[in-house]
Amino acid sequence: MKGLHLLTILGCLVAGFTLMEAFTAQSAPTQGAGAALAVACAVIPYCFVRSITLWVAPTEIQLRRLNETMEAHTKLLKQIADTRPESDSDPTTQI
């Protein structure tokens, strides 16, 4: 997932260079079009990465919760096994 955030950073860098180039234009409409293109270069990769992050996140959250539950159950079972009286484990005392 962190690799996708590089796409956003790259988009922001491209947008910055596009914006600097747009401000060197001679007419206001050209500057406006350049600024709009710069915004698009920054916003589109951000929205793309954000949507993928939100799409994948519920699965990761469910797996993390399941893992925590399994760890808690494992600890409880270990405690139960450690506190079992020795007479229960000795087959000669049972009839």
Phi, psi of 84 (to 5 degrees): -65, 135
Q: Using an 8 Å Cβ cutoff, are 7 and 49 in contact? A: yes
The domain limits of the chain are 2-81
**pLDDT tens digits, 21-77:** 998 989 999 999 999 999 999 999 999 988 888 887 777 778 888 999 999 999 999
DSSP string covering 58-77: HHHHHHHHHHHHHHHHHHHH
When pLDDT is cut at 50, 70 and 90, the band that residue 91 belongs to is low
When pLDDT is cut at 50, 70 and 90, the band that residue 87 belongs to is low
